[in-house]
Chain A
Amino acid sequence: MISDDPRVDAYAKLLVERCLDVQPGMEVLIRTTSLARPAVLALQREIARRGAFPVLRIGFVIWPTNPAWAAEAPEELLSELPEIDRFASDRMDARITMDAPENIRDGTDLPGERFQALKRAEHYFYRRTMSGEIPWVSCAYPTEGLAQEAGLTLERFADVLYGACLIDWDAEGTRMRRYADAFDAAEEVRIVGAGTDLRLSLAGRHGEVDQGHTNMPGGEFFYSPLEDSADGTIEFSEFPPSYQGHDFGSIRLVFSGGAVVDASAAKNEDTLHGLLDRDEGSRRIGELGIGCNPGITRPMGHVLFDEKIDGTIHIALGQSYEKVGGKNQSSIHWDIVKELRTGGRIELDGKPVQENGSWLI
């Protein structure tokens, strides 16, 4: 397989230099599938140029998930990573997660309790990146599976991916920082749109601008709102929300005192209620994010892209980000994207700052 797409080299350089800023001697763990081979080779070269070590964790689905094994192994083995993988989790100096599925449904045929056990096991791996202890980046490589889910050909999908990643991140960062400054200075955010009027408090919280570091594509700024502040209703009808392979059609959530008090879905409503009942924190908002990536203008069926669509916001139910002051704890972190370009606005302390997806700042 020859990759004569020069964008792969530029992409690898971006991941190694900007996203991770790999230093000599670092052990950089790369999780992906064999379909991402051209990128894996390019990453090896970039990491070598920085005097560091690539540590490959390549599977047929993203490591540490191994569905063939997980279907047959005793269940008690599933909920904790083996020692070798825990060592890697403790020792790695940086990680790259590069989604490159052959079929985005791979692994979804595992019985629910086995799937949940695997998710519990993975927690050990994620903890040092979620806490910000080490640099990390989540990204994607163009595969037929991802393109199909986005409703695109492979070539067109690759154009969108690289178009959203190979941009002037410093300029984007400056632009997003201006918006974030306005949010930082505000206390109350109000989201108004189709079937939606939701208020959240950001008092005392500061936002983080994702200018191409932990996500590639990046292009959002985000907060963990005050945990007991959400009041009102939000309807996600424009982009059908889904979670771990479950589709819901559209969703309506009513908040009071920060918690979801009423929830309905066009389909799989029981699954939605099950998710909300997962734990103490799964009914509260862990994140409010504002999508700003000019290269992403349509939903791609993948949260990494969809939450960055310019002119959308997303809230995540569940786990919050400590680094932005969040206190909510949950085993889920479910980003749900709301379109504002078709008739919506964002107000800060009563003053509109974005109307129909266009900034007034």
Chain B
Amino acid sequence: MVDPRIEKLAALLVERCVDVQPGWQVLVMGYPPARPLLEELCRQIGRRGAYALLRVRVDDPPLRAWMLEADDDLVGRLAEIDGHDYDAMDSYIVVLAPENTRTGSEVPPERVAARNAAMRPHMKDIFSGDKPWVGLDFPTQALAQDAGMTLAQFEDFYWGAVLIDWDALAVKMRKIADRFDAADEVRIVGADTDLRFSLAGRHGRVDALGANMPGGEVFYSPVEDSAEGVITYAEYPACYQSHQVGGVRLRFEQGRIVDASAESDEKFLLGMLDADEGARRLGEFGIGCNPGIQEHMRNTLFDEKIEGTIHLAVGNGFGFLGGTNESAVHWDMVKDLRPGGRIELDGEVVQENGKWLLDL
């Protein structure tokens, strides 16, 4: 018998997040610890009259051993079969279930960037939002350990963050998005932080039963040349591709990062920012709204949804939100505003210390 929580989660993913249609080819990708969910997804996709193409991964990144060994020019090329998988699929669901979240951290950033660049053309319809997809984590010891919890504690947290009343939360987030849509300038103020950027002409998206599970954010692609000022991610490390970079501080001029430093792993930070032209500009501004997530997990998928935080991603923007920045990088960095921070829209304070001043 299938765990009813897994059955319910699979139904949310298949029916709501992706809305699988008959005849679709759906790539179901994930790691062995997530087997119960992966198999339930295959069953439910089958019931919808669609193909579930299961791709179990045994390493992260999936071709890590190959990426470490291949010649420089080879690593930037993609097998035609792999490219075709992404070109021809109608949707994908990817379930991360790491046994060790540091796996992959030894792959040189330029190799990661080369591989991402080779994948990019095939991910066009994903980035643009033309193909529905969803990415999520499945509880493992490694995720629990990073979150400072036992597996049992982490599981309680996890199910509390994914099996919530999504329809009610979507209504609340829509109200927040309406207010930001109407504004031109956003100002983020906090410890060693005073950053302004423009959303003029841009519209936000409410993430509830969309591409992330758990969802629970409102997000934008800010105007590319607008960011001015400083942001310091003092509260949490910036986590990306198995790295955890402490104390990231970024200074922007005309939308571009002109000064970057970190208290730890600065080399990785600078390597990523130099990956390509777009990696030094903002691709995303997001506002965390999930009431089921209160603590930092060192896991972006959850952390960027923490109620009372914002996040900014350096790198690739979202075409479907009017974003024009292009990059092989998309690195979400989360800033906690609850200990002393605020969000201003065109000079009006709308959130103070993580609490909304709006009528929601």
Contacts and interface: CB of A to CB of B under 8 A. Distances in A.
Interface of A: 27, 29, 33-34, 37, 40-42, 44-45, 47-49, 51, 53-60, 63, 66, 68-74, 77, 82-85, 87-88, 91-92
Contacts of B35: 60
A51 B42 contact: no
Contacts of A59: 54, 56
B84 A91 contact: yes
Nearest to B84: A87
A56 B54 CA distance: 11
Contacts of B47: 72-73
B84 A40 contact: no
A33 B54 CA distance: 11
Given A51-B74, A60-B39, A92 B81 contact: yes
Contacts of B58: 34, 37, 40-41, 56, 58
A180 B85 CA distance: 44
Contacts of A84: 25, 27, 51, 53, 84-85, 88-89
A27 B79 contact: yes
Given A59-B54, A71-B46, 11 more contacts: A40-B59, A41-B59, A44-B64, A47-B66, A53-B66, A56-B58, A58-B58, A69-B52, A73-B47, A85-B53, A91-B84
A82 B46 contact: no
Interface string B67-97: 0111100100111111011001100000000
A41 B57 CA distance: 11
B160 interface: no
A82 B69 contact: no
Which of A40, A49, A66, A85 has most chain B Cβ within 10 Å?
A66
A48 B69 contact: yes
A44 B80 contact: no
Given A60-B35, A73-B49, A82-B51, A88 B84 contact: yes
Given A56-B62, A58-B57, A69 B88 contact: no
Interface residues of B, number: 44
Interface in B256-286: none
B43 interface: yes
B25 A82 contact: yes
Contact of B66 (A34, A48, A66, A91): A48
Which of A47, A53, A56, A69 has most chain B Cβ within 10 Å?
A69
A72 B66 CA distance: 35
26 contacts: A27-B79, A33-B56, A34-B56, A37-B58, A44-B64, A48-B68, A51-B70, A51-B71, A53-B79, A54-B66, A56-B57, A58-B57, A59-B56, A60-B56, A66-B52, A69-B42, A72-B44, A73-B49, A77-B51, A82-B51, A84-B25, A84-B51, A84-B53, A84-B85, A87-B81, A88-B84
Given A37-B58, A69-B52, A44 B65 contact: yes
Nearest to B89: A84
B2 to A, nearest CB: 10
A275 B40 CA distance: 33
B179 interface: no
Contacts of B40: 68
Nearest to B74: A51
Contacts of A69: 42-43, 45-46, 51-52, 54
B322 interface: no
Which of B35, B46, B57 has most chain A Cβ within 10 Å?
B46
Nearest to B58: A37
B32 interface: yes
Contacts of A92: 81
A177 to B, nearest CB: 36
A9 B88 CA distance: 35
B53 A56 contact: no
A47 B64 CA distance: 13
Interface in B11-40: 25, 27, 32, 35, 38-40
B145 to A, nearest CB: 17
A77 B22 CA distance: 10
Contacts of A88: 81, 84-85
B303 to A, nearest CB: 28
A55 to B, nearest CB: 5
B175 interface: no
Contacts of A42: 65
Nearest to B40: A68
Which of A41, A44, A45, A47 has most chain B Cβ within 10 Å?
A44
Contacts of A49: 69
Contact of A57 (B45, B55, B59, B84): B55
A58 B63 contact: no
A57 B82 CA distance: 10
Which of B51, B55, B58, B77 has most chain A Cβ within 10 Å?
B58
